[in-house]
A and B are shown apart, each in its own frame.
Chain A
């Protein structure tokens, strides 16, 4: 069974950074790209970026360049996303989602709620 287990919800101060994880199981981690998606009430669903764990290649939505950094650890089958210089605009739920043969996102993690507040 494919599963993407994300780390817990975060409460962070403005200006700080946060790093979240997405541990994959039930499939060969390096066979699929991993996407990250932001869901906020005002903006709906937004694609942040994608990492191809096999070759450690990333691509980003221009909107999130400089905000998000994607990495992957093949030894632990885990993808990571770090968000920097957090503001209230970054308060949202963040999902990791597996790529479906370049056609859609087929499996999603349970989401990490990030709240930016002093």
Chain B
């Protein structure tokens, strides 16, 4: 199974700051056919279901604010949230979609400082 490791596990921020969440996979997620990385990011607020933010490592899902930026390739990926807003306080998960079983990172909890 592909192991997804996120860091940090929690992060305390102030509104307006830029934050970076890291995700590392145990093997490359780069698909040679599509020449894309099969990595997605989700946001989960307390008491809610996960919400898709980004897929193919850097493609924002429709309706997702452009302050959410996904980057990276191969085994190292990053979710950057610029100018964090109070509504962004949530848990964030990465997921690989390269090979079954699809696996998720352990999550990063974004809290208010």
Contacts and interface: CB of A to CB of B under 8 A. Distances in A.
B74 interface: no
Interface in A72-117: 95, 97, 100, 102-111
A102 B102 CA distance: 11
A85 B56 CA distance: 37
Given A44-B93, A45-B107, 4 more contacts: A45-B104, A47-B100, A61-B100, A106-B52
B72 interface: no
Contact of B103 (A35, A47, A109, A111): A47
Contacts of B55: 100, 103-104
B49 interface: yes
B7 to A, nearest CB: 14
Q: Is the interface of B mostly helix, strand, loop or mixed?
A: loop
Contact of B56 (A63, A97, A103, A109): A103
Q: Is the interface of A mostly helix, strand, loop or mixed?
A: strand
B61 interface: yes
B100 A95 contact: no
Contacts, number: 54
A44 B101 contact: no
Interface in A51-85: 59, 61-63
Interface string B49-89: 11110011000010000000000000000000000000000
Given A103-B56, A104-B55, A106-B61, A95 B50 contact: yes
A84 B21 CA distance: 37
A66 B43 CA distance: 30
Nearest to A47: B102
Contacts of A10: none
A46 interface: yes
B66 to A, nearest CB: 18
A54 B104 CA distance: 27
B30 interface: no
